[in-house]
Amino acid sequence: MDYQYSPAKLFIDKINPYEYYLYEDRSKIIGSQYPVYSHSAYIFFSPFSLLDWEISRFVWSIINIILAILCILIISKKAKLENHNMIIIGCIFFMSTPFRNCIGNGQLSLLVLISYCSLFLDNSIKRNFLLGISYMKYSFMPVLAFFVFFKDGFTGLLVSGLFCLVGWIIFSLYLDQSLLHTIFQPLTVGLKGFDSTLARGDLFTILNRYDYNLFNIKSSYWSIFLVTVVTFFLAKQVSSKKDILLTLNLLLVINLLTFGHLIYDYLILLPTLVYSFKNYNFLKAKISIFIVLYFWFGIRIYEKIKSYISNVDIIIPSNYDIFINFILLIILYFVNLNTKSSSLIKN
């Protein structure tokens, strides 16, 4: 449903996918394959669009599964988990709703997660460039951009933006369109194409549930400002951490609690599960595992029960659901932030 096959195919045919979505009949867009990603995404997916539809989505599914295995291996090895524990975590991960939903929808969440794993690289240029691949999905950009800036300064931030910057230039040149004309098109489509009604539990979604004017400024602009400020301070706090696995864990949790994400993006809680599994002796680590398992399995069970009771096929998260999930993410952040503190209570 979400795989960027048809927008990439439009791009190959020299049709601007953003403009096609905004101004045409959308008949050439399969499912909900709306072009809500950066220009570089359509350079990246161009080779896939040259394949037959069935073959292309099969290939992307296999690649996603390989990315998932690599993420498990990289993160578990960095945590120095024993092989049998790695297998347990892998099995839990593969059974989770976000993983299955990501594969089924052809989403980019696993590509984002493997990109974030670049944090483990020592070379700052390679690290920041590979981290910047995740910028393809704009909802993951602000937290990481602030973090890179605090960690490696303006030069690091510039390096992290190269992938999307070069993609934007190639995209514009190939379509023979002005750089200024295409620069904001992904954001325009993103605001229209993202189904915010399915966001699970973040500050941006909560703030946008209320319509108000303050100093003659629309509430949506206040929401962006407030979330950006919160993101700024959280990213600054995490940038001082020395444990890279903890840093990866916290950055991904911050992403979920600040900007809107659908259920497939919650697979990025894999580092949180691994980190908590590593520190299982601590009570806070057990709480962390419980919350991750709720997001991976509990939400779907809860929705199935609601669906059965209300006799509807799709459950839209209510204000109550979003608020509870947001609180759980805040708890998840703080219990992981202090997991290794000497003041922790052990069983």
**Token pair belonging to 242:** 């020395």
pLDDT tens for each residue of the chain, 347 residues long: 889 999 999 999 999 999 999 999 889 999 889 999 999 999 999 999 999 999 999 999 999 999 999 999 999 999 999 999 999 999 999 999 999 999 999 999 999 999 999 999 999 999 999 999 999 998 899 999 999 999 999 999 999 999 999 999 999 999 999 999 999 999 888 877 777 778 889 999 898 877 767 666 777 778 888 999 999 999 999 999 999 999 999 999 999 999 989 999 999 999 999 999 999 888 999 999 999 999 999 999 988 888 888 887 777 888 888 999 999 999 999 999 987 643 333 43
Among 121, 28, 18, 113, smallest CA distance to 71 is for 113
Among 89, 137, 146, smallest CA distance to 269 is for 89
Enter the DSSP assignment of 137. S
Q: Which residues contact 175 (CB under 8 A, 6 or more apart)?
A: 11, 14, 16, 182
